[in-house]
Amino acid sequence: MAITDATRERAREIVARYPQARSALLPMLHLVQAEEGYVTVEGVAMCADELGLTKAEVGAVATFYTMYKRRPTGQHLVSVCTNTLCGLLGGDEIYAALSDELGVEHDETTADGTITLEHAECLAACDYGPVVTVNYEFFDKQTVSSAKELVAQLRAGELPKPSRGGELTSFRDAELELAGFLDDETRLRKVGAVESIESTLRGLNLARERGETAPEADYTTAIPPVPAKESK
């Protein structure tokens, strides 16, 4: 599919945000995914053309980061953290159950196009594990049954409320947001949508309750300077 003129105009808006054009590549790749559902050959060519890069340079970036997809993504991207902590807490079982329930493996999409499933190395939310994200919005402390209910709601056309953070949207709308395009009304709703972060603060609160403090840093021991190389 050809990149639309509207997407090219948005791409140029992104470029205008940066003092150096090539700095716009990451959000531009999100823009491509917002239109195409993944990073297409045409999208790579458009980025290269607008930024004065080679297709190889754009492709190298697009294939380095797992957030850029190489084949069409469904309406919703469901990511299950299977890194060490979440995996031990039940993430592995959740991923296996969803894979069986949906009939897909990692980075595959259901036949109806609603769900793309992936296992993620880390979703940076160990204090809420096991964690599942949908289009990068968090669903904390999941179980096999709650994760199955979550994907059932998505396949039924519902948009469940995330545990914290912004409202749930489609994958392509999330990609448009990551590209830096978000209307004012939606932005205000997202800013006001953050829920409790009690789990994150649990260790700090326990320390305060017990009167525990960390030792003061020792700034008296200076790090010895690196000796200068003698010139020959």
> Quick one: pLDDT band at residue 165, thresholds 50, 70, 90?
confident
Distance CA 34, CA 178 (A): 9
Q: What is the pLDDT of residue 188?
A: 63
Give kind and range of the element (H or E) at residue 134. Answer: strand 132-134
Q: Are 60 and 9 part of one and the same domain?
A: yes
pLDDT band, very low/low/confident/very high, at 232 (cuts 50, 70, 90)? low
Question: Would 219 be classed as within a structural domain?
Answer: no
Do 86 and 138 lie in one domain? The reply is: yes
Q: At which of 171, 203, 221 does a domain end?
A: 171
Exposed/middle/buried for 103, CB within 10 Å: 0-12, 13-18, 19+?
exposed
DSSP state of 82: -
Q: Are residues 120 and 148 in the same domain?
A: yes
Could you tell me if 42 and 123 lie in one domain? no
Please state the pTM of the whole predicted model: 0.83
Query: Residue 37 has what pLDDT?
Result: 93
- Does residue 201 belong to any structural domain of this protein? no
Distance of CA 93 to the CA centre of its chain: 22
Asked which of 100-104, 126-130, 193-197 is least confident by mean pLDDT, the reply is: 193-197
Among 42-46, 122-126, 130-134, 202-206, the range scoring the smallest mean pLDDT is: 202-206
Residues 51, 97 within the same domain: no
Peptide bond just before 130 cis, omega within 30 deg:
yes
Residue 69, C-beta contacts closer than 8 angstroms, at least 6 positions apart = 33, 37, 38, 39, 107, 116
In a domain, 199, yes or no: no
Please say which residue of 123, 156, 171 terminates a domain.
171
Q: Are residues 82 and 29 in the same domain?
A: no
Q: What is the CATH number of the domain that holds 11?
A: 1.10.10
The answer as to whether 211 is a domain residue is: no
Instruction: Report yes or no on 48 lying in a domain.
Output: yes
Would you say how long the chain is, in residues? Answer: 232
Task: Please say whether the beta carbons of 97 and 144 come within 8 A.
Answer: yes
Whether pLDDT at 222 is above 80 = no
Looking at the structure of the chain, the number of domains it has is: 2
57 and 81 within one domain: no
Indicate whether 223 belongs to any domain.
no
| pLDDT > 90 in the chain, percent | 72
CATH number reported for the structural domain that contains residue 155 in this entry: 3.40.30.10
In terms of domains, do 55 and 86 share one? no
Nearest to 90 by CA among 142, 29, 40: 142
Q: What is the pLDDT of residues 63-86, one digit of tens each?
A: 999 999 999 999 999 999 999 999
Residues 59 and 89 occupy one common structural domain: no
Residues whose CB falls within 8 Å of the CB of residue 13, separated by 6 or more in sequence, listed in order? none
> Which residue would you say has higher pLDDT here, 133 or 2?
133
Residue 51 domain boundaries: 5-64
Per-residue tokens: 137: 């919005």
Pick from 135, 131, 136: which is nearest to 146 by CA? 131
User: Rounded to whole angstroms, how far apart are CA atoms 172 and 132?
Assistant: 18
User: Quick one: average pLDDT of 197-207?
Assistant: 81
pLDDT for the residue numbered 43: 95
Res 9: pLDDT: 95
